[in-house]
């Protein structure tokens, strides 16, 4: 009997800076209702799905940015979303800005801020939490940029690794599910850590500016969607897993985010894609048995990987200059 789960990417259009969370939650509940009508069992919402992409706004006092964060999950504003999902028996992924009061690596308990995502089961249990590891952008105001991207200012690097959990979803007793957030998808290491835990389905949300806001040089705008799809398709193929990748898209206070959310299979094929850059639900039936072929042949990690040759991947952070070739001495 094939192990099939019906999933959806619930893409969100823009959320303006002035829009309250209640509007975003109402829009997400409308997408959940659509998902219920289509027999969807797992819905993936975007990164930072409750507010505008606030890291584009500079706050000199970081505490001023706390209004963009969730001190509790669920909270009064998000409880209706949890209730609707439980009513429909639908699991969901939600990205949000998390405030936590917990010990850091020195043992000091303090207020900590993360770019976080949770996986919630069909009965409302939080099955898994992930905190974004790869934070793009910068920590201080950058006058050269056309738009700021201050994730390194507002968030700490995630401290939960890249976990995978096997949990019931839809009609299945267990699916191996993992998460990553936005920029993480560009780093093969993130995919491989999930792959080494036998992940079958990766849920990821993203907020990706539709054009390059760094003053680093020309990047053709069409490459934003191309690079997003390339990263996700490669990650799925090379780790024999499905991914549901959901954008927050459209123009927020004059700044455009790219859409084109996708669902990808373990062959790296796009099996569903959004056509708008607004609220849009795309769905697919994922036959998890399709993970087996890659995992037992081309990417049978136990047979083919050679960790003894990969030392640089964990020993180095940046790249180093190579050795320069010298003509061998004439004998």
Residues recognised as catalytic: 47, 132, 182
Region near ligand ING per CB under 6 A, out of 10-18, 72-80, 81-89, 204-212: 204-212
Residue 69 interacts with ligand ING (CB under 6 A)? no
Give one word for 315, left, alpha or beta, with left for phi > 0 and alpha for psi -120 to 50: alpha
What three-state secondary structure class fits 24? helix
Task: Give the pair of three-digit tokens for residue 10.
Answer: 């619930």
Instruction: Output the smallest distance, CB 46 to ligand ING, in A.
Output: 10
Per CB under 6 A, the list member of 182, 193, 203, 232 interacting with ligand ING is: 182
How far apart are the C-alpha atoms of 23 and 11, rounded to whole Å?
Answer: 15
Of residues 182 and 290, the one with the C-beta less far from ligand ING: 182
State which residue, 46 or 91, has the beta carbon closest to ligand ING: 46
Looking at 6-14, 180-188, 267-275, 315-323, which segment touches ligand ING (CB under 6 A)? Answer: 180-188
DSSP 147: S
**Which stretch, 32-40, 85-93, 200-208, 305-313, contacts ligand ING (CB under 6 A)?**
200-208
**Which two tokens mark 79?**
């409880």
CB of 206 to ligand ING, least distance (A): 5
SS3 state of residue 327: coil
Burial class (CB in 10 A: 0-12, 13-18, 19+), 325: exposed
Q: How do beta strands 242-247 and 250-252 pair?
A: unpaired
Nearest to 169 by CA among 299, 44, 22, 310: 44
The angle subtended at Cα 322 by Cα 318 and Cα 328, nearest 5°, is 170
Which of 74, 80, 124, 136 is the binder for ligand ING (CB under 6 A)? 136
Indicate which single residue of 69, 191, 206, 299 sits in contact with ligand ING (rule: CB under 6 A): 206
Which range, of 9-17, 192-200, 202-210, 247-255, touches ligand ING by CB under 6 A? 202-210
Query: Site map for ligand ING, 209-228, x if CB under 6 A?
Result: x-------------------
Cα–Cα distance measured from residue 94 to residue 99, given in angstroms and rounded to the nearest whole number: 15
Residues 270-289 that bind ligand ING (CB under 6 A): none
Size of the site for ligand ING (CB under 6 A): 8
Minimum CB separation from ligand ING for residue 214, in Å? 8
Neighbouring C-beta atoms of residue 220, cutoff 10 Å:
9
| Beta strand segments in the chain, E | 4-11, 42-44, 91-103, 109-120, 126-131, 164-169, 172-181, 201-206, 242-247, 250-252, 255-257, 262-264, 270-273, 280-287
Binding-site member from 183, 233, 239, 283 for ligand ING (CB under 6 A): 183
CB 21 within 8 A of CB 77: yes
Instruction: List the one residue from 208, 233, 246, 261 that touches ligand ING (CB under 6 A).
Output: 208
Cβ 188 to ligand ING, closest distance in Å?
14
Among 116, 207, 233, 265, binds ligand ING (CB under 6 A): 207
Residues that bind ligand ING (CB under 6 A): 136, 182-183, 186, 206-209
């Amino acid at each position: 009997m094939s192990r099939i789960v019906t999933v959806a990417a619930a893409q969100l259009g823009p959320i303006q800076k002035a829009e309250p969370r209640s509007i975003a939650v109402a829009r997400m509940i409308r997408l959940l209702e659509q998902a219920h009508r289509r027999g969807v069992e797992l819905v993936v919402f975007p990164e930072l799905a409750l507010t505008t992409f606030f890291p584009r706004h500079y706050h000199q006092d970081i505490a001023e940015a706390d209004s963009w964060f969730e001190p509790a999950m669920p909270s009064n504003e998000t409880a209706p979303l949890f209730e609707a999902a439980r009513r429909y028996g639908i699991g969901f992924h939600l990205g949000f800005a998390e405030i936590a009061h917990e010990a850091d690596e020195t043992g000091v308990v303090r207020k900590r801020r993360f770019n976080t995502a949770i996986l919630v089961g069909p009965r409302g249990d939080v099955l898994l939490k992930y905190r974004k590891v790869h934070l793009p952008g910068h920590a201080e105001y950058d006058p050269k940029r056309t738009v700021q991207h201050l994730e390194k200012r507002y968030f700490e690097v995630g401290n939960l690794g890249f976990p995978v959990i096997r949990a019931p979803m839809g009609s299945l007793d267990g699916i191996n599910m993992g998460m990553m957030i936005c920029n993480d998808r560009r780093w093969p290491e993130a995919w491989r850590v999930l792959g080494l835990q036998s992940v079958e389905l990766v849920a990821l949300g993203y907020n990706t500016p539709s054009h390059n806001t760094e003053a680093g040089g020309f990047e053709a705008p069409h490459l934003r969607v191309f690079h997003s799809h390339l990263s996700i398709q490669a990650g799925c193929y090379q780790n024999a897993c499905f991914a549901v990748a959901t954008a927050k898209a459209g123009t927020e206070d004059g700044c455009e985010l790219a859409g084109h959310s996708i669902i990808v299979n373990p062959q790296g094929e796009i099996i569903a894609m959004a056509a708008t850059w607004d609220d849009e639900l795309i769905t697919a039936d994922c036959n998890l048995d399709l993970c087996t072929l890659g995992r037992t042949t081309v990417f049978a990690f136990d047979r083919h990987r050679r960790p003894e040759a990969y030392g640089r991947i964990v020993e180095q952070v940046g790249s180093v200059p190579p050795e320069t070739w010298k003509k061998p001495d004439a004998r």
